[in-house]
Amino acid sequence: MSNEEEEKILLESIDSCRLLVKERSRLLGRSLTYHVTTFGCQMNAKDSEKLSGILEAAGFEREEDELAADFVLYNTCTIRDNANQKFFGHLGSIGAVKKKNPDMMIGVCGCLSQERSAREKITQSYPFVDLIFGTHNLFDFPQLLYKLLTRQVTKGKGHLISEFWDDTDRIVENIPSRRNYKFKSGVNIMFGCNNFCSYCIVPYVRGREKSRASSDIIDEIKRLADDGVKEVMLLGQNVNSYGRGLSEDINFARLLEKVEEVSGISRIRFMTSHPKDLSDDLIDVMAASKKICRHIHLPLQSGSSRILESMNRQYTKESYLSLAAKIRERIPGIALTTDIIVGYPGETDADVDDTIDVIEKVQFDGAFTFIYSERTGTRAASMPDKVSAKEAARNFERVLAKVQETSQKRAKLIEGMTGDVLVEDINRQDSSLVTGRLSNNLNVHFPGDASLIGQIVRVHLSECRGFYYIGERA
């Protein structure tokens, strides 16, 4: 089926849902409500905006309280075991609520539902779930929703509605979307992952890598700009390999140049960069750009070449260090942040020393540090020499201490300077302050009101407080 046909079916299914939602609302004497609960990464957050967009186009109204909505949809993550546990915690409590309110509808989608063993656990142990679908079936959501609503309206007996594919190469454009922020937006540039890092579940639950046509990406960004968006975050598991497999002659650096030309967009970010594919061309484009933010998230995972090889990361300690040095030299003021895994099978104290050495040498501006979590079906899951929880925790603390040291040092370097801040929100603790982000991704809090939200303002960085700034308008 062509993309246009898929798009047409999707929109028609939404129309059919709308009639049922209307009928149900009439019987209830109020609007039907929904709540989408999102776990995991920016890509899931983006998918949730689409799921919410579809639900609103079908006539549902957003309900802030998860436990009070007529339809609750969980968009799940399974990157580490604690992501699974968090979700099952939610599912347990919603089960108790549904007992009192049998008309409530519960759906599960996202990465965890794509994983076979987790899916089996849901279908066997949580029989109150009405709908479950996989990551390759987001475009089928309106049709599945239609089935679910039909069952509700006709009071049909409930058995699970489900749809799963192992993979897909379809990309459907122009899905309705409900954006979380008016002034910034994620934009998918590619889906899936082909890298098969030995510890990682993503290639199994998100399928093979596929890039969107650049014209579709640019059209979306133009529409976003027309709608008031100032900052776009280009999303992919490995944005540096963007364009592979497309018939057009394009790569990530060329795509960035095209995005740069979209008027109305002031800031461009991207996530995530795999070190093995970060080209000199990209560094040049960033160095010359007025819009690309001074920040690269460049996951290291480990500083030990031996562990990196076992992880299938395709770079070494030395090549990572020279890449980081080159970026720092060619793009002054750039922030480098990273992800680190501690406790990978076979990791010794000496390997962790290597990781700490890289943190020290690169002087990371920030890092997410994770304890290795075994994922069923990945290569690392069957490796010998598992690291004990105690050892992992001890090394985790060592790594964390070093990361905190370098990131505080880096943050402090710009104290007393001024910088442009995109204001995102009112400060949660102190409502006389607003909170925003510098180009290098550091948070700044300064006196201001809601009228500043979505604006880029010049701020004097008066006081560094560890990892963030207190400032005042310059």
* Binding to ligand F3S in span 389-408, by CB under 6 A: none
- Other beta carbons within 10 angstroms of residue 153's beta carbon come to 14
Applying CB under 6 A, which part among 19-27, 197-205, 260-268, 284-292 lies near ligand F3S? Answer: 197-205
Q: Site size for ligand SAH, by CB under 6 A?
A: 17
Residue owning tokens 């076992």 = 310
> Residue 312: helix, strand or coil by DSSP?
coil
Structure tokens at 337: 């942040």
Distance CA 457, CA 443 (A): 13
Q: Residue 196 interacts with ligand SF4 (CB under 6 A)? A: yes
Residues forming beta bridges with residue 268, ordered by sequence position? 232, 292
Residues forming beta bridges with residue 446, ordered by sequence position? 434
Q: Which H or E element spans position 184?
A: strand 184-188
> 246: which DSSP letter?
-
Q: Residue 206 interacts with ligand F3S (CB under 6 A)? A: yes
Applying CB under 6 A, which part among 91-99, 197-205, 345-353, 354-362 lies near ligand SAH? Answer: 197-205
- Minimum CB separation of residue 40 from ligand SAH in Å reads 9
Residue 203's binding partner out of ligand SF4, ligand SAH, ligand F3S, none, with CB under 5 to 8 Å set by partner kind: ligand SF4
Residues forming beta bridges with residue 335, ordered by sequence position? 295
Q: Residue 79 interacts with ligand F3S (CB under 6 A)? A: yes
Q: Residue 444 interacts with ligand F3S (CB under 6 A)? A: no
> Residue 8: helix, strand or coil by DSSP?
helix
Applying CB under 6 A, which part among 67-75, 170-178, 369-377, 445-453 lies near ligand SAH? Answer: 369-377
- Strands (DSSP E) found in 325-432: 335-342, 366-371, 418-426
> Binding ligand SF4 by CB under 6 A: which of 197, 282, 331, 459?
197
Binding mask 239-268 for ligand F3S (x = CB under 6 A): ------------------------------
CB distance 139 to 175 below 8 Å: yes
Tell me the one-letter amino acid at 37: T
Nearer residue to ligand SF4 within complex by CB, 110 or 436:
110
Residue 243's binding partner out of ligand SF4, ligand F3S, ligand SAH, none, with CB under 5 to 8 Å set by partner kind: none
Applying CB under 6 A, which residues contact ligand SF4?
193, 195-197, 200, 202-203, 237-238, 274
